[in-house]
Amino acid sequence: MDRIEGAVGDISLSDLKQLAENVPVMLAVFDAASLRCVYANERYAALSDRSAAQTVGEPFESIVGSATFSKIKHHIDRAIVRGESVSYTRTIEMPGGELRHLDVSFAPDASNGVGRLYVLISDVTRHRAAEIALEQSVERLRKFMAASEEGIAFHIDGVITDVNHALTQMLGYSADEFIGKTTLAFVPTEEHQRVSAVIKSGVETAYESRAIHKVRGSIPVEYTVRNMVWAGIFQRMVIVRDLSERKSSEQRIRFLALHDALSGLPNRASLDEHLAELVAADSNRKFATLFIDVDQLKRVNDSLGHAAGDALLSQLSKRLSQQCEAASAPQHEAWLARIGGDEFVITYLMRDYVDLHRFVDSIMQCFDAPIPVEHRDIRVSASVGITVYPKDGTTPSQLLKNADAAMYVAKADGRDTVRFFDESLARRADLVLETSQALAIAVQGDQFRLFFQPLLSADGKELLGAEALLRWQHPVRGLLAPDEFIQIAEEGHLIVTIGQWVLAEALRHVKLWKSLGWHNARVSVNLSSNEFSEAGFVASVSQALADAELDGTHLELEFTERMLMDDKGETRNSLEELKATGIGLSIDDFGTGFSSFSRLRAMPIDTLKIDQSFVADLPESHSALAVVTALLQLGRGLSIDVLAEGVENESQRECLELLGCAMMQGYLFAKPMSGEEFCAWMQAHRLRYPYAGPRVRHHHRRALSGR
């Protein structure tokens, strides 16, 4: 009676037993009336740590233990009394202490009159663990979503199923407004294609795009997309990061990187970008590149300080950019950048050359009116070099380089000048570069020569001095005059070293001349403004005199008007110091600058040298006559000697003598000569050597004017 007998269908009883032993289920059969075990497989028996043989015949209660029995009794009753199938889940503790989750089913059967209770138990411990893990991860994800500052949305095939709080904050919609909508409803149209491509591809990726904020409209975001399979459903998790702030700080950084801090104008880097765009845009569109250099900025910085220089620059920037704005129309646009201390560049989309010239004039006008800086009006001028695309260059760097070269020539040609680039300028620019490199070598090597040109009385019989004129014995180009290298030396700051050499060499010759009988020999040395403004200049001159064991009366220094008019007290102090050592001071090229006479009167000057351009036009030119006459009168009025430079012929000399000019210099008497030639010339001419230094009457002048 505890055996199942007979065959079932095609399988035998032993088949069934075999099966019952091998299914991963615990099986038992109880007698419904007695609740004793009729059959149990080994798995079932093992639950209560027995064998199947030990289990069969035992009462239910003793198999499961009375505590458990009372807990499940109602399930048993339901199955037996009501004849219902009952399922429940139970967690039991195994003898080893391990917890197991069991799905228990009771199935009653009274079909053959013998009441049976079938018990089927499956161990779902592993499933349950997975379920718990899932529940926990859902919980974790929920917490993570809630805590995340980044917006998170889930969508299935592009339809939003869940969003977190951060996303509602970020985009201004409530969760309800999100859920059920398509993701694309929150993406601006222009980004639809990209976003749907990503959704369709199903790849895990991160990319920058945009989202629509309920109020603010389109904002920059980064989407990070991850795939998840959730309860068997493929879902996409999208993390949304708001880039607005990063974008705006990026923009700020980009602005700073592309703009000049002082003027707020585009800088060199953005000029390069802009030019590249212009060149790339359309090769038929002519545009001009104006390279503008502010001539006197260094002077302003040196004499008034950098704050003043900065103020000047920012005012000038304003003027230029206003002018560019005014000149800009769709057809001809002007674009301004500041690319260096005193350098601006304007690109101008031009219609034709007439149009360009008009524009250039309007830019030059920016320099006409004085600029008020720190309660004074400062006048500056500009040297401008211009290239036109594509004629003068087809790349940004060519256009700029050539415009720079043209600017350089404009500057060399006397500042306040506009120069268009042409090929000869390119050669000249190359020459400049080459020269400055060669000069650096010349300074060290022994390539400089000093020539001398006598200064004489009007009758040519008295030797009043000699002007030292520099020559460069260039190894390839031969003997070069200063015009070919002085300016370049000034820019490369080599002039200071060269000047020191000139001074020492000049004084060496003075000693030689003295030994040849010119006892009060005087040499005139030309100065460049860079030398004079160098700190310690006065001391270095004194040192040179001391080294040569000469006193100041043997030396005269030639300044230009510009050098003297530039500043306030400092120049005068330096001049007074030089003067105190007996050195003579003269103003070179007089009449070409803009000396204010009141300023001139205050300077301790001994000699004015009338510029050779006036002398050249004598005696025919009335205006030259007028100027020379006026300068001679000025000299007499201020008790300053006046010398005429560049006297080339007898009629000039005669005219000057008649006008009362007592000192002359020029080819008529002698050209500049090498040191030896000069000595030979001196000895060949029977000259008188009167004292020609600073006149005693200057001291009278001071005494008379009460100073």
Q: Using CB under 6 A as the criterion, which residues of the chain lie in contact with ligand C2E when the complex forms?
A: 453, 468-470, 481-483, 486, 502, 526-528, 588-589, 612, 646-648, 665-667, 672
Write the Ramachandran bin of 232: left for phi over 0, alpha for psi from -120 to 50, otherwise beta.
left
Q: Which is nearer to Ca ion, 54 or 613 (CB)?
A: 613
Which tokens belong to 314? Answer: 């920012």
What is the C-alpha radius of gyration for the chain, rounded to an integer number of angstroms? Answer: 52
Smallest separation, CB 502 to ligand C2E (Å): 4
- Contacts of residue 398, defined as CB under 8 A and 6 or more positions apart, other chains included, come to 387, 392
Query: Is the omega angle on the peptide bond into residue 370 within 30 degrees of 0, that is, cis?
Result: no
Q: Which of 270, 383, 402, 526 binds Ca ion (CB under 5 A)?
A: 526
Q: Which is nearer to Ca ion, 552 or 666 (CB)?
A: 666
Q: Which is nearer to ligand C2E, 294 or 544 (CB)?
A: 544
| Interface region with Ca ion, contact rule CB under 5 A, candidates 340-348, 436-444, 483-491, 519-527 | 519-527
482: partner contacted, choices Ca ion, ligand C2E, none (Cβ within 5-8 A by kind): ligand C2E
589 is a contact residue toward Ca ion (CB under 5 A): yes
Q: CA-to-CA distance for 132 and 135, rounded, in angstroms?
A: 5
DSSP summary character for residue 158: T
Which residues share a beta bridge with 329? 332
Q: Which is nearer to ligand C2E, 187 or 682 (CB)?
A: 682
Measured CA angle at 482 (ends 477, 484), to 5 deg: 50
> How much helix, strand and coil, in percent to the nearest 5, is found in the chain?
45, 25, 30
Cα→Cα distances 70→62, 75, 325, 588, Å: 11, 10, 97, 128
- The beta-strand segments (E) located in 305-342 are 334-340
Residues in the chain: 707
How many chain residues touch Ca ion (CB under 5 A)? 5
- β-strands 159-163, 151-156: how paired? antiparallel
State the residue for tokens 């002018």: 323
Q: Taking a C-beta distance cutoff of 8 angstroms, is the pair 67, 59 a contact?
A: no
Q: Which is nearer to ligand C2E, 321 or 453 (CB)?
A: 453
31: partner contacted, choices Ca ion, ligand C2E, none (Cβ within 5-8 A by kind): none
- Contacts of residue 593, defined as CB under 8 A and 6 or more positions apart, other chains included, come to 560, 561, 562, 565
Smallest separation, CB 415 to ligand C2E (Å): 16
Smallest separation, CB 586 to Ca ion (Å): 8
Which residues share a beta bridge with 518? none
Q: Taking a C-beta distance cutoff of 8 angstroms, is the pair 108, 81 a contact?
A: no
Smallest separation, CB 552 to Ca ion (Å): 18
Q: Which is nearer to Ca ion, 342 or 645 (CB)?
A: 645
486: partner contacted, choices ligand C2E, Ca ion, none (Cβ within 5-8 A by kind): ligand C2E
393: partner contacted, choices Ca ion, ligand C2E, none (Cβ within 5-8 A by kind): none
Q: CA-to-CA distance for 60 and 71, rounded, in angstroms?
A: 13
Q: CA-to-CA distance for 646 and 270, rounded, in angstroms?
A: 50
Q: Which is nearer to Ca ion, 162 or 588 (CB)?
A: 588
Smallest separation, CB 612 to Ca ion (Å): 6
666: partner contacted, choices ligand C2E, Ca ion, none (Cβ within 5-8 A by kind): ligand C2E
693: partner contacted, choices ligand C2E, Ca ion, none (Cβ within 5-8 A by kind): none
Smallest separation, CB 439 to ligand C2E (Å): 13
Q: CA-to-CA distance for 509 and 292, rounded, in angstroms?
A: 44
167: partner contacted, choices Ca ion, ligand C2E, none (Cβ within 5-8 A by kind): none
| Interface region with Ca ion, contact rule CB under 5 A, candidates 7-15, 212-220, 640-648, 655-663 | 640-648
Smallest separation, CB 510 to Ca ion (Å): 17
Nearest to 427 by CA among 408, 447, 449, 450: 408
Q: CA-to-CA distance for 351 and 333, rounded, in angstroms?
A: 10
Smallest separation, CB 278 to ligand C2E (Å): 41
Q: Which of 260, 531, 588, 641 binds Ca ion (CB under 5 A)?
A: 588
Q: CA-to-CA distance for 298 and 531, rounded, in angstroms?
A: 14
Q: Taking a C-beta distance cutoff of 8 angstroms, is the pair 521, 554 a contact?
A: yes
Q: Which is nearer to Ca ion, 183 or 526 (CB)?
A: 526
Q: Which is nearer to ligand C2E, 75 or 685 (CB)?
A: 685
Q: Taking a C-beta distance cutoff of 8 angstroms, is the pair 451, 471 a contact?
A: yes
Q: CA-to-CA distance for 286 and 300, rounded, in angstroms?
A: 36
Q: Which is nearer to ligand C2E, 402 or 560 (CB)?
A: 560
Smallest separation, CB 609 to ligand C2E (Å): 7
Q: CA-to-CA distance for 42 and 25, rounded, in angstroms?
A: 10
Q: Which is nearer to ligand C2E, 5 or 483 (CB)?
A: 483
402: partner contacted, choices ligand C2E, Ca ion, none (Cβ within 5-8 A by kind): none
State the residue for tokens 């030689």: 512
466: partner contacted, choices Ca ion, ligand C2E, none (Cβ within 5-8 A by kind): none
Task: Tell me the three-class secondary structure of 208-247, residue by residue.
Answer: EEEEEECCCEEEEEEEEEEEEEECCEEEEEEEEEECHHHH
Binding positions for Ca ion, 545-564, rule CB under 5 A: 558
Q: CA-to-CA distance for 444 and 441, rounded, in angstroms?
A: 5
Q: Taking a C-beta distance cutoff of 8 angstroms, is the pair 199, 188 a contact?
A: no
586 is a contact residue toward Ca ion (CB under 5 A): no
Which tokens belong to 338? Answer: 């500041």
672: partner contacted, choices ligand C2E, Ca ion, none (Cβ within 5-8 A by kind): ligand C2E
Smallest separation, CB 441 to ligand C2E (Å): 18
Which residues share a beta bridge with 212? 218
Q: Which is nearer to ligand C2E, 209 or 612 (CB)?
A: 612
Smallest separation, CB 485 to ligand C2E (Å): 9
Q: Which is nearer to ligand C2E, 58 or 588 (CB)?
A: 588
667: partner contacted, choices Ca ion, ligand C2E, none (Cβ within 5-8 A by kind): ligand C2E
Smallest separation, CB 548 to ligand C2E (Å): 16
Smallest separation, CB 645 to Ca ion (Å): 5
552: partner contacted, choices ligand C2E, Ca ion, none (Cβ within 5-8 A by kind): none
Nearest to 41 by CA among 4, 73, 74: 4
Smallest separation, CB 659 to ligand C2E (Å): 18
Smallest separation, CB 398 to Ca ion (Å): 38
Q: Which is nearer to ligand C2E, 597 or 667 (CB)?
A: 667
> Helix 537-547 vs helix 569-580: angle between axes, to the nearest 10 degrees?
10
502: partner contacted, choices ligand C2E, Ca ion, none (Cβ within 5-8 A by kind): ligand C2E
Q: Which is nearer to Ca ion, 366 or 486 (CB)?
A: 486
Smallest separation, CB 351 to ligand C2E (Å): 43
DSSP string, 185-203: GGS-HHHHHHHHHHHHHT-
387: partner contacted, choices Ca ion, ligand C2E, none (Cβ within 5-8 A by kind): none
Q: Which is nearer to ligand C2E, 525 or 603 (CB)?
A: 525
Measured CA angle at 209 (ends 208, 210), to 5 deg: 140
238: partner contacted, choices Ca ion, ligand C2E, none (Cβ within 5-8 A by kind): none
387 is a contact residue toward Ca ion (CB under 5 A): no
Q: Which residues of the chain form contacts with Ca ion (CB under 5 A)?
A: 526, 558, 588-589, 645
